[in-house]
Amino acid sequence: MTMTRLAVALCIAAASAGASAQVATGDTSSQKLALSNNYAGNSWRQQMLKSWASVADPAVKQKVVAAAPSFTTAESQATEQVQQIQNLVLQGYKAIVVDAVSPTALNGVIKQACGAGVTVVSFDGIATEPCAYRIAVDFQGMGRMQVDYLAKRLNGKGNLLEIRGLAGVSVDDEIHQGVVEQLKKYPGLKIVGSVHGDWTQTVAQKQVAGILPTLPQIDGVVTQGGDGFGAAQAIKTAGRPTPIIILGNRQEELAWWADQKKSGYQTMSVTIPPGASTFAFWVTQQILAGKKVPHDIRMPVLEVKPEELDAVLARTPAGALANKEYTRDEVVAVIDGKK
């Protein structure tokens, strides 16, 4: 779904929410919820935290909830996030939204939190503990759509470089699995190199620069977000022709694409919006308010297509990403299947 189509769909959903989607109205004004985040070392995570604050802070001022701070670990270690969640439980938080360091490393502490009557909602980095709610994006689908796009552009034949994310995190594994599975449909496409870019431009640039001397011609680059522009810079520095690089909605990537587009360059840009944290906020508030919510909820990725590029770039500040922040009515419409 493109940004324009997503925005229209959500506006329609919000407009009809009063008639069709059911917002829970239980009193949550005395209840505290918190965001437990394991990593903030790239622009996506930083904007995700800003998006959280842009919704959570007004909700506190309006007495929708009593408190809604965010906490980020210093080293992106499971032991740190476990301790962080334990502390939040001891401090009386009634709900904890989790961007998990790994799918399984937090399961024990999440089960303990649930046992203490705390609601746990995971998003982006999903936790597999059954008592937690999960807001999932079809990350495997995101990997598949990249391969399909490159297969179409390259007529099913070519050498690919894969830039993965942060090792050990579910998002990285899911996107990678989608890429691997879809490549089985295109025997003429081959991954000739793979590096971990940690979803960060500078890391991706360094890692790609390091592997390029060992690689043959690169025709396409599959990515995970935050890495496309770094890859482009490394390839340019190496004096190689620019392949088709999948981008991840960062402003610097979109600006680079707009510049390349003047010479006829084509690609696509897709990732989960940082505003996923606002989606998670309202899901959590609604659970606390008494709404029956399924433990597994799916939200869409955000894709920027060529015809949308100029308009999206114009409203995306430097250092930020194309984004979508959610209202309570929009989230309830998705929960109720009214979107």
The pLDDT of residue 195: 98
Say what the pLDDT of residue 41 is. 87
H or E element, residue 154: none
- Residue with structure tokens 């990732």? 271
Same-domain status, 41 and 58: yes
Mean pLDDT across 77-102? 96
Tell me, yes or no, whether 111 and 173 share the same domain.
no
Q: If you write DSSP's letter for every residue of 91-120 in order, what string do you get?
A: TT-SEEEEE-SSSSTTHHHHHHHHHTT-EE
Residue 32 lies in a domain: yes
pLDDT digits 0-9 by tens, 23-81: 999 999 999 999 999 989 888 999 999 999 999 999 999 999 999 999 999 888 999 99
Same domain, 91 and 74: yes
Instruction: Say yes or no: 252 and 283 in one domain.
Output: no
Overall domain count for the chain: 2
Mean pLDDT value of segment 201-222: 97
- d(Cα 149, Cα 12) in Å, to the nearest integer? 29
Q: Are residues 242 and 197 in the same domain?
A: yes
* The token pair that represents 277 in the structure block: 């944290």
Residue 156 lies in a domain: yes
Question: What pLDDT was estimated at residue 337?
Answer: 87
Q: Global pTM? A: 0.81
Buried-exposed string 201-233: b where 16+ CB fall within 10 A, e elsewhere: bebbbebbbeebeeeeebbbbbbbbbbbbbbbb
What pLDDT score does 222 carry? 98
Question: 127 with 144, same domain?
Answer: no
| Residue 279 belongs to domain spanning | 3-137+272-301+319-335
Question: Does 311 map to a domain?
Answer: no
What CATH number is attached to the domain comprising 198? 3.40.50.2300
| Shared-domain flag, residues 175 and 109 | no
Q: What is the largest CA-CA distance in the chain?
A: 61
Of residues 86 and 171, more confidently modeled:
86
User: 261 with 293, same domain?
Assistant: no
Average pLDDT, the chain: 92
Predicted local confidence at residue 229, as pLDDT: 96
pLDDT at 7: 47
Please indicate, yes or no, if residue 314 is contained in any of the structural domains. Answer: no
Q: What is the CA radius of gyration of the chain?
A: 20
- What is the helix (H) or strand (E) element at residue 208, kind and residue range? helix 201-211
Is residue 167 assigned to a domain? yes
pLDDT above 80 for 286: yes
Are 288 and 325 in the same domain?
Answer: yes
Position 306 in a domain: no
Asked if residue 95 belongs to a domain, the reply is yes
* Residues 249 and 280 reside in one and the same domain: no
Task: Establish if 174 belongs to a structural domain.
Answer: yes
pLDDT digits (tens, 9 = 90+) for 110-158: 999 999 999 999 999 999 999 999 998 889 999 999 999 999 999 999 9
Could you tell me the pLDDT band of residue 263, with boundaries at 50, 70 and 90?
A: very high
34 and 131 in a single domain? The answer is: yes
* In the block, residue with structure tokens 């270690």: 77
| pLDDT for 300 | 80
| Average pLDDT over every residue of 217-223 | 98
Is there a single domain that holds both residue 291 and residue 260?
A: no
